[in-house]
Structure 1
């Protein structure tokens, strides 16, 4: 600390440059690991992180790759729209918004290789901005540095910090060591980065989440409930195929195949039929609680998710007390 206080402005600029440069390299590595999965080429750099090295130790590359695909390809795809859009889908409003942000900050996306709303693409954009900041610091261009930091804060506040907390909770809940360690590293870097930026830009409000579940609606049926529970922007929690399958196995309830909403409807229907609705909803509440426990450390940026999860918890408790549920098919 004393060395920092006594440092000249030039020395502080060099330290800041080194920090921005290192941060940019870290973003590149994490983006590559997330997008490509563990490869022989990436294992060396990844092992420089003690957390990633521990998750890699003693495991074959094929096993690591299978875990990566299971978590990020099947269970919890790292796509902004899946968590923030009203239809819980990709390529919609969130994709359009992030494209606009990229254009505003001067980041070009290769449409043939990168999905704009993919977490890896957002990390790459932060890597480019961090690298540009390092160059500006080396050249002592203070106005440019301030603008680059403002753009970094904008990308973090308008995008990553709106959905990274809920994505991270869902991905870590799957329980595969390497993907969990990777997500934790992304979390730590993003949070340290935003803290270092301070008030580089006014922090934007959290995500505007969708409608809650109105159990008093006379038109409400199983399809509506299933869609609500599998839409993170409404339920405040991400329920993946693995979550649905695990709960179904626990109570020996069929859940069928298809999308998450259809699987959830099959699960609810079976629970109502076999008088295990209270047990099923209690299990779903436990998942909500587990997700919420991981959100606590995120502070204000997770408050909208936590408030919505609280409402969902209450709705599930009421649902568990219901004698019957009106049914309707979910289109495949």
Structure 2
């Protein structure tokens, strides 16, 4: 998608695109939104003139956004890796904008809510330009840049990277549609933010500050057990990536290791425990390092193509640290034995 020109009409058009993406992420695809996509020359649709199975797409929407990708800023940028952990910051942005979303089913730090606010602000900016109020338009532009930095671009690259990995493993039409929506959101927000930077002489989009202080577990610490490793790997702000259920299942299948059922923390712990017991920890961690390398390569491409170097830099540092940590864990046979012994002593 090429960058829209700086004009009232372009701001209003951009606001409509944000609005469509927000509805898709929050509610899925219904007949009304399908009509909007077709009016946009079939944007995001593989076959614009066909009749998609809305029930199938709804099931895929639930799987992708409830079970796999978790599109909340707090999941990615807080050390708790928790949805809602960034609610206060996002609500402050919404309050300054005069945007009052309904939050019956989602937290304020849901990506769809941030995109809805971007739609609201873009529409207001377009109206200010139409009315010949450049100072108001500039203020709205600065608000948009701050919102995009904190509520969208701080975590969306890592979210989309996980989504593209999911699509590569599962090419179902429903999964592909929702990943395309995320990719479109990243391109739209990145190009918009770059345009705001040029027009308003702003600094580049910045990455999440929380990643700077995130550290991996100390492998030589006496209390570093397998649970500590799981906590690290499942915290994107520490590990630099989101490990999905499908990622964990893929590691288990690749190395023929049991992982059981349940939450990601349970299945990943079971997988690492089995790997340690059967002497397969090193190859599992090598595979994890390969996954991290793929995510890194994807994000480096975006940093260059979408002018997101500063926003993505903290994620690259975290991924590099993960690669070093995984290599050290795989080579440390004595550490693995100690961690497994601690794990066996812990209450189940």
State TM-score, norm by structure 2. 0.86
Task: State the SS of the aligned residue for 1:216.
Answer: coil
Render the CA deviation track for 1:226-271: whole Å, top value 9, x for unaligned. 1101100100111011110111122221112333222211111000
Answer yes or no: is 1:292 the counterpart of 2:302.
Answer: no
Answer yes or no: is 1:273 the counterpart of 2:277.
Answer: yes
Look up the match of 2:222.
Answer: 218
Q: Aligned-pair distance for 1:272?
A: 0.8
Q: Within 1, Cα distance between the matches of 2:163 and 2:252?
A: 19
Aligned pair partner of 2:159 in 151, 162, 167: 167
Look up the match of 1:191.
Answer: 190
Aligned pair partner of 2:23 in 32, 38, 49: 32
CA RMSD of aligned residues (A): 2.1
Q: Within 2, Cα distance between the matches of 1:331 and 1:227?
A: 17
Q: Within 1, Cα distance between the matches of 2:231 and 2:107?
A: 25
Structure 1 residues 331 and 84: CA distance shift in structure 2, 3 A:
farther
Q: Within 1, Cα distance between the matches of 2:80 and 2:262?
A: 16
Q: Runs of 4 or more off by more than 4 Å in structure 1?
A: 55-59, 329-332
Look up the match of 2:172.
Answer: none
Structure 1 residues 223 and 88: CA distance shift in structure 2, 3 A:
same
Look up the match of 2:115.
Answer: 123
Is 1:68–1:178's contact at 8 Å kept on the other side of the alignment? no
Q: Give the stretch that moved more between structures: 218-227 or 253-262.
A: 253-262
Q: How does 1:18-97 map to 2 (within 5 A)?
A: 18-47=9-38, 48-50=40-42, 52-54=44-46, 59-92=52-85, 94-97=86-89
Is 1:236–1:306's contact at 8 Å kept on the other side of the alignment? yes
Look up the match of 2:149.
Answer: 157
Segments of structure 2 that go 5 or more residues without pairing to the other structure are 168-174, 304-308
Structure 1 residues 113 and 318: CA distance shift in structure 2, 3 A:
closer
Aligned pair partner of 2:327 in 279, 296, 317: 317
Task: State the SS of the aligned residue for 2:46.
Answer: helix
Aligned pair partner of 2:263 in 254, 259, 276: 259
Q: Give the stretch that moved more between structures: 316-325 or 187-196.
A: 316-325
Q: Within 1, Cα distance between the matches of 2:157 and 2:32?
A: 29
State TM-score, norm by structure 1. 0.89
Look up the match of 1:304.
Answer: 314
